[in-house]
Amino acid sequence: MTNISHIVIVGGGSAGWLSAGIIAAKLKQSVASGFTVTLIESNTIASVGVGEGTWPTMRSTLKNMGISETEFIKQCDVSFKQGAKFARWRTGKQDDYYYHPLVLPQGFEQLDLVPHWQASDSPLSFSEMVCPQESLCEQGLAPKLITTPEYRAVANYAYHMDAGKFATFLQQHCVENLDVHHIVDDVVGVNKTDSGDISSLATAKHGQIKGDLFIDCTGFKALLIGEHLNVPFVSCNETLFVDQALAIQVPYQQENSAIASHTISTAQSAGWIWDIGLPTRRGVGHVYSSRHVGEDHAYQQLMQYLSGQVDKPESLDVKKIPIEAGHRAQFWKNNCVAIGLSAGFLEPLEASALLLIEISAQMVVDQLPTNRQVMDIVAKRYNETFTYRWARIIDFLKLHYCLSERTDNPFWIEHRDPSTMSERLQEQLMLWKHQFPSDADFESALEIFPAASYQYVLYGMGFRTHQNPLGRSQQSIDRAQMAFKKNIAETQQMSNVLQSNRDLLEKIYKYGLQTI
Ligand SMILES: Cc1cc2nc3c(=O)[nH]c(=O)nc-3n(C[C@H](O)[C@H](O)[C@H](O)COP(=O)(O)OP(=O)(O)OC[C@H]3O[C@@H](n4cnc5c(N)ncnc54)[C@H](O)[C@@H]3O)c2cc1C
């Protein structure tokens, strides 16, 4: 019986180094010995080099790897992210926007504020009325103070960062502190046993690299899972239509320009533009459906977006990235697991790709099969878990589109066609017309987007649920009033003490955050 002790990762993008760090950190903390983690990366095949928005989970991921938050902030051009602002998604008009913040509505566990917000006819948006984060973002405020220790928050937060610097930073930490064996070479062949397992990888300069478990982090190439294990790619381009990205790095006009505390996603005629503010530059890109808009027009829309914000936007280098929404039919086959873009791709509307990498690597190491005999059982469970998770992310991304009232391009109209949605999403939308979305709709422990996320998007997009008098008692009305008041007080309190994103980052460069 072969024990599983040698793990070989191919690929040195965010997926490879995050997986290496998550797995090696856990193995290092364990009392068991004899494990090795090897990462092979090519220095001739480029990484995709984008992927700059994260989830709050990245804080615990980095902390568990033993990384100093201050060092991460200093070395990876990091800024704080407190959610996403979706502009022009509903009507397409100039003043049309809503937020998906990173905090739960006030008292969410005990009380559902949606019926009370809806009954109030307040001019405030749902997110403004139930949490402070929309206001903090609109004011450009950071989510913590210089006295708040590393990884702790005043308001929940994630990060924006430079993807290239992040991979280099993780590489250094993994090699120097977590004993990851790093090989810079091209994998040129895959050797398999009669059962179809990978026995070793042939490299151009380092000979054969043997392993017990192989992790494919080779990006869109999917060298092991796709090319060698022939696991099919399941496209979902009939649900999510965007298939091209144009990415640009945009300099600030002034060194001390404000840094947005949130990702800005602005809908276009057949896609959307992301805008991520880092301390030294912005990362901006247009993801669009080439079936609905030509490349020239998509480029012009990007230039139009940047005009007035930057001199000569047409002089900036544009990186064109073809994309296809979908994922592998299996993520773990034989003794090979695909993590990152090799496992699949969904448009970065909710920055779910890095999250998927974090939770995939975590599950691999948490459930690491002790020997080959039990590996297929773990693989089956892993595949069920991630098939469910990918399907739920697809539904949640689709939700942003199918509620739109835009008619300016068939792109939006086709998105509302029920035949482009999963049956589950259609059913939920029907149900939510008559009852408010709640945790009861998201019972699985594997849920990635909770009911609160659905509430922010649904009601941000103008969805209405028929009032059900059964849902509101006098007691719940009183408690909701208290929650709304509490929110006003907390928003005021936080607004008084928090500094701007840039001011806090500058203090961190100077003094560092207190370690815990
Ligand atoms: C337009 C766009 C925007 C995105 N925005 C976000 C976002 O905001 N948030 C988010 O979470 N995600 C985002 N993503 C996804 C994110 O970029 C990826 O999930 C992340 O970068 C991981 O990529 P990767 O490591 O899988 O692949 P890559 O970065 O492409 O790395 C592949 C690695 O494999 C190596 N390799 C390939 N072949 C071989 C070989 N034969 N031998 C040795 N090594 C090899 C390459 O050298 C490279 O190191 C975005 C993606 C795109 C396309």
Sequence-distant (≥ 6) Cβ neighbours of residue 31 within 8 angstroms: none
Which protein residue's CA is at the shortest distance from atom 18 of ligand 1? 51
Pairing of strands 36-41, 181-184: parallel
Last residue of a domain, one of 322, 337, 364: 322
Q: How many domains does the chain have?
A: 3
Q: Which of 10, 218, 263 to mutate to test the pocket of ligand 1 (most atoms within 8 A of CB)?
A: 218
232 and 330 part of one domain:
yes
Question: What is the H or E stretch that residue 154 is in?
Answer: none
- Contact predicate 363/382, CB 8 Å: yes
**503 within a domain of the structure (yes/no):** no
Domain CATH number, residue 224: 3.50.50.60
Q: How is residue 156 annotated by DSSP?
A: -
The mean pLDDT value of the chain amounts to 96
Active-site residues, by number, are: 81
Spatial distance between the Cα atoms of 363 and 381, rounded to a whole number of angstroms: 10
276 and 365 part of one domain:
no
| Cβ atoms within 10 Å, residue 139 | 13
- Contact predicate 57/355, CB 8 Å: yes
Q: Which of 19, 44, 48, 275 to mutate to test the pocket of ligand 1 (most atoms within 8 A of CB)?
A: 48
- Contact predicate 266/298, CB 8 Å: no
Q: State the ipTM, two decimals.
A: 0.99
C-alpha of residue 14 to centroid of ligand 1, in Å: 6
168 and 228 part of one domain:
yes
Condensed to tens digits (0 to 9), the pLDDT of residues 327-368 reads: 999 999 999 999 999 999 999 999 999 999 999 999 999 999
Sequence-distant (≥ 6) Cβ neighbours of residue 195 within 8 angstroms: 334
Task: Pick the closest to residue 241 from 398, 404, 449 (CA basis).
Answer: 398
Spatial distance between the Cα atoms of 431 and 466, rounded to a whole number of angstroms: 10
Q: Which residues line ligand 1 (CB under 6 A)?
A: 10-16, 40-42, 45, 47-48, 50-53, 163, 186-187, 217-219, 221, 223, 245, 247, 285, 321, 323, 340-342, 348, 351, 353-354
pLDDT higher than threshold 90 for residue 439: no
**449 within a domain of the structure (yes/no):** yes
340 and 260 part of one domain:
no
Q: How is residue 150 annotated by DSSP?
A: T
Percent of the chain with pLDDT over 70: 99
C-alpha of residue 242 to centroid of ligand 1, in Å: 18
Confidence of residue 468 (pLDDT cuts 50, 70, 90): confident
290 and 337 part of one domain:
no
484 and 384 part of one domain:
no
13 and 141 part of one domain:
no
**63 within a domain of the structure (yes/no):** no
**284 within a domain of the structure (yes/no):** yes
Spatial distance between the Cα atoms of 387 and 391, rounded to a whole number of angstroms: 6
**17 within a domain of the structure (yes/no):** yes
19 and 119 part of one domain:
no
Last residue of a domain, one of 391, 423, 443: 391
Which protein residue's CA is at the shortest distance from atom 50 of ligand 1? 51
Confidence of residue 1 (pLDDT cuts 50, 70, 90): low
C-alpha of residue 342 to centroid of ligand 1, in Å: 8
Which protein residue's CA is at the shortest distance from atom 7 of ligand 1? 51
372 and 337 part of one domain:
yes
Condensed to tens digits (0 to 9), the pLDDT of residues 139-163 reads: 999 999 999 999 999 999 999 999 9
Residues annotated within the binding site are 12-15, 81, 187, 341, 350
Last residue of a domain, one of 365, 391, 417: 391
21 and 169 part of one domain:
yes
C-alpha of residue 73 to centroid of ligand 1, in Å: 21
**95 within a domain of the structure (yes/no):** no
- Contact predicate 323/347, CB 8 Å: yes
C-alpha of residue 505 to centroid of ligand 1, in Å: 27
pLDDT higher than threshold 70 for residue 77: yes
Residues annotated within the binding site for 7-chloro-L-tryptophan are 81
The residue ranges of DSSP E strands in 289-341, in sequence order, are 319-322, 326-328, 332-333, 336-338
Which atom of ligand 1 lies at the shortest distance from residue 186's CA?
Answer: 42
Structural domain range at position 110 = 104-156+394-497
Residue type, 412: W
**70 within a domain of the structure (yes/no):** no
191 and 114 part of one domain:
no
310 and 190 part of one domain:
no
